[in-house]
Chains A and B, each alone.
With several copies, the nearest count.
Chain A
Amino acid sequence: MSIEFQSNESGNGTATLVITGDIDMSTSTLVRTHLTDLFKKKQKAIVVDLAKVSYIDSSGIATLVEGLQWSHNNNTKFRLTNLTPMVKDVFEIARLLTVFEVYDSQEEALEGI
């Protein structure tokens, strides 16, 4: 399985991370590395775009939960956008959909930051 990352840092302190591929045990450590890199840069807000993630397992969810915890510690906003049906369903089963800040698009996620 291959996974791809595209990150985009705007001048005003927001970063977007677009992930393409399945997030499972073999790829979630790469997601973690990309997230820690962004957190190190002390952004105001990090938006993770999951439009092209059609599969996520518990290791992927755990990685995003870690991101959420870092965001609390760093006073960084941490937002998710464009959840595919499978990803949304997994968040719902885990009862995490309301714990995260989830948006329908990058634009909405970046509004008012």
Chain B
Amino acid sequence: MAESVKLTIPSDSKYLCLVRKVLHHLLLERQLSEEAAQRLILCVDEACSNIIKYSYAGCPDLPIEISFSLADDSFQAKIRDYGKQCDSRKIKPRPLDKIEPGGLGTYFMNEIMDEVSYCTDRETGTLLTMCKHLKNELTSS
């Protein structure tokens, strides 16, 4: 059974470490290994960073709503903003063989998560859903 914890932060990058702390707490309570936990944390952090940079274009006091659901064998994060929508096909990583800064955030999300989907089917903003199956990520089972 999935229990969910919700966290809403202002769109200021100084709150990213709070998001990481909350998720770290929840994942370690669920016996996830530190490595698996850090990867999921990275994805959520990248998603929030992108909202701050692109959807809210740097405005620091708009809401980012995050919900974490942890079931026995899966993790889901839903991240909602109320900022600029964009064509989700334009949100994409750069090819890795070009060594240059940028374009890595969405690459990490796609590489680590089993599902990453953007939904703009609403009046404002975007709902990003990321899922990960956890079968082999648990330290104890």
Q: Do chains A and B touch in the complex (CB under 8 A)?
A: yes
Q: Which residues of chain A have a CB within 8 Å of any CB of chain B? A: 1, 22, 24-26, 55, 57-59, 61-63, 65-66, 68-69, 85-86, 89-90, 93-96, 99
Q: Is B129 an interface residue, CB under 8 A from the partner? A: no
A66: which B residues are within 8 A, CB to CB?
101
1/0 per residue, CB under 8 A from A, across B30-65: the answer is 000011001101100110010011000000000000
Q: Which listed residue, B14, B38, B102, touches A1 by the CB 8 Å rule?
A: B14
Question: Are A90 and B42 also in contact (CB < 8 A) when A22-B17, A59-B49 are?
Answer: yes
12 further contact pairs, Cβ within 8 A, besides A61-B104, A93-B112, A94-B107: A22-B17, A25-B16, A26-B16, A58-B108, A65-B99, A69-B100, A69-B101, A86-B35, A94-B104, A94-B108, A95-B96, A96-B99
Q: Which listed residue, B14, B20, B108, B111, touches A55 by the CB 8 Å rule?
A: B20
A100 to chain B, nearest CB (A): 10
B 103-124 contacts with A by CB, 8 A: 104-105, 107-108, 111-112
Number of A-B contacts (CB under 8 A): 72
The DSSP consensus for interface residues of chain B is helix
Give the one of A22, A63, A93, A99 with max B CB within 10 A: A93
B interface bracket (residues with beta carbon within 8 Å of A): 20 to 34
Q: Is B13 an interface residue, CB under 8 A from the partner? A: yes
Q: Which listed residue, A26, A58, A89, A94, touches B13 by the CB 8 Å rule?
A: A26
Establish whether residues A57 and B99, one from each chain, have CB atoms under 8 Å apart when the complex forms.
no
Q: Closest residue of chain B to A86, judged by CB?
A: B38
User: With A and B bound together, what is the CA distance between A62 and B101 in angstroms?
Assistant: 4
Q: Which listed residue, A1, A22, A85, touches B35 by the CB 8 Å rule?
A: A85
User: With A and B bound together, what is the CA distance between A67 and B87 in angstroms?
Assistant: 32
Establish whether residues B35 and A57, one from each chain, have CB atoms under 8 Å apart when the complex forms.
no
A25: which B residues are within 8 A, CB to CB?
13, 16, 45, 49, 52-53
User: With A and B bound together, what is the CA distance between A69 and B107 in angstroms?
Assistant: 21
Establish whether residues A1 and B17, one from each chain, have CB atoms under 8 Å apart when the complex forms.
yes
B99: which A residues are within 8 A, CB to CB?
65, 68, 96, 99
